[in-house]
Every structure is written in C-alpha cells, then in structure tokens.
Amino acid sequence: MAYSPRYSLEGRIACVTGGGKGIGRAIAERFAKEGAHVCIMDRDSLVIEEAVTAIQSQGGAASGHHLDVKDQKKVEEVFQAVEERYGRVSILVNNAGITRDQLLFRMSQEEWASVIGVHLNGAFHCTQAAQKQMVKIGYGRIITISSVSALGNKGQVNYATAKAGLQGFVKSVALELGPFGITSNAVAPGFIESDMTKATARRLGKPFADFVEEKTKVIPVGRSGKPEDVAGAALFFAGEESSFISGQVLYVAGGPKA
C-alpha cells in the first residue's frame, strides 16, 4: 500500500506572520518539513533572512517578506505579490504578536493600542487578504495564535483582551468561510520559551532559568512549553485531515484550560 503522509502540506503556500522568531519560526520550519512553501512575514529583515536560510539549508522552500501586519495597504501588497510569485495562499498563521504588560491603572494609551493593533488589526488585515485567494481555490486553513491569557491575566488587560478577541474572530471567520472549504481555528499556548517570555523575565528582574522553573511548577506535565509544541498543534489544523474541525480553540499549555 502506498504511504500517504498524514500531515503532508506538499504544494501548499503557507504564510506565517511573525515567522522570523520563536513560535512563528518553529511553525514555519515544521510546515516546510511537511512540504509547504513557507512565506516568512516579519518586520525585521535580519530574522527573516535567518529563518529563510535555515529552512532552505534543511531542504525546505521558503521566502522572506518584510511586513508590519498593522499596515493594511502593505499587507494587501505583500499577499498579492505572494500570489503572483508563488501561487495562491492556502494556509495562514496569524502569529505576529507583542506584549506591553502593565497594570491597568498605569497602562498608557500607547501600551493599550499597540497590543490591540498588532494582534487584532493584524489578524484582520492578513485574514482578509489571505481569504481572497483561499476562496478562489475553495480551500484554506487559517490558524490564529491566541493565548491562555485570553482567560485573564494580571498586568495584561491589553494582551488578554486581544487574545480573547481573537477567539471571537476565529469563530466568526469559521462561520463565514466554512462554505468555501476554509477552516479557522485558534491555538492558545501557555508558557512557551521564546524571546517574548525572555523579555518578560528581564522586565521582572528574574534570570530566565528561575522564571522557567517558577512557571514549570504549576504546569501539570512538569515542563515548560517549547515553540515546537505549538508547531505540532498548528500542523494538526493545517492539514487536510482536519477539514471537519473549525472554530475551535486548542489550548497547548501542558494541562487543562477552559
């Protein structure tokens, strides 16, 4: 019997925002290993180049696209350029994200608006641009990275609001685009080791190793999350076999979250 890889993304064009680093890069590397051409979309040329080179040196297909997801016009241009150069996008991962943690009473308008802008406006811009191409081919997989912070987190009213908002976004997109063969799901990670959590440790004045140890104490599986853990979940939603699963939120947190 012929071997058919369960999660093959052969021939697919996959766009990963914030794909130059951390979780986005792990997702991009994993998708490329499964045969997709991965478009790394990020705002720092250096990290884009590093990610593209790493994928290509492992035999994968990747291209770099300088993009700030807040800029709707640029998003439209970049997605159009991808379609013209590589073909229609069938997988989108809304992963680009930032934190600007602060207690509510001290939070500035800029701290609030920048987090809402990157996560919510960014996902709106990229999903709107990508779905045009997905509708044309009658197939699509949209994966949006939420967070356990959607359930509420002290010092993160901006981020928690954005990540909870994304869950509503994902479900609404699932309802609208289901008839076109497009699924929309969220992956909501818990504590994952990345530059984002390293920056949090620095801000709290804690060595990263101590911060990881502290976080690990309350994780049922007894270890911290790695970007590859999120990549595995994203791959599940990206594959053809998940076609009957849409509008869902999968917590990837080493234990149950509601």
The catalytic site residues sit at 159
Of 8 and 76, nearer to ligand NAP (C-beta) is 76
Residue 123 binding ligand NAP, by CB under 6 A: no
Q: How many CB atoms lie within 10 A of CB 56?
A: 13
Of 158 and 197, nearer to ligand NAP (C-beta) is 197
CB 2 → ligand NAP: shortest distance, Å?
37
Residue 155 binding ligand NAP, by CB under 6 A: no
Q: Which two tokens stand for residue 209?
A: 């190793």
Among 16, 30, 88, 95, binds ligand NAP (CB under 6 A): 95
Among 7, 35, 43, 165, binds ligand NAP (CB under 6 A): 43
Q: HSE on the CB side for 125, CA within 13 Å?
A: 24
Segment lying near ligand NAP (by CB under 6 A), choices 39-47, 103-111, 127-135, 202-210: 39-47
57 within 8 A of 35, measured Cβ to Cβ = no
Residue 192 binding ligand NAP, by CB under 6 A: yes
Among 18, 64, 239, 254, binds ligand NAP (CB under 6 A): 18
CB 150 → ligand NAP: shortest distance, Å?
9
**How far apart, in Å, do the first and last CA atoms of the chain sit?**
41
> In 3D, which of 134, 151, 152 has the Cα closest to residue 143?
134
Over its C-alpha atoms, the chain yields an Rg (Å, rounded) of 18
CB 10 → ligand NAP: shortest distance, Å?
26
Is the Cα torsion angle 86, 87, 91, 97 positive or negative in sign? positive
| Residues across the chain | 258
Give one DSSP letter per residue of 132-193, joined into a string. HHHHHHT-EEEEEE--GGGG--TTBHHHHHHHHHHHHHHHHHHHHHGGGTEEEEEEEE-SB-
Residue 74 binding ligand NAP, by CB under 6 A: no
Give the footprint of ligand NAP on residues 199-258 (CB under 6 A). Answer: none
CB 126 → ligand NAP: shortest distance, Å?
9
Residue 52 binding ligand NAP, by CB under 6 A: no
Among 8, 74, 83, 98, binds ligand NAP (CB under 6 A): 98
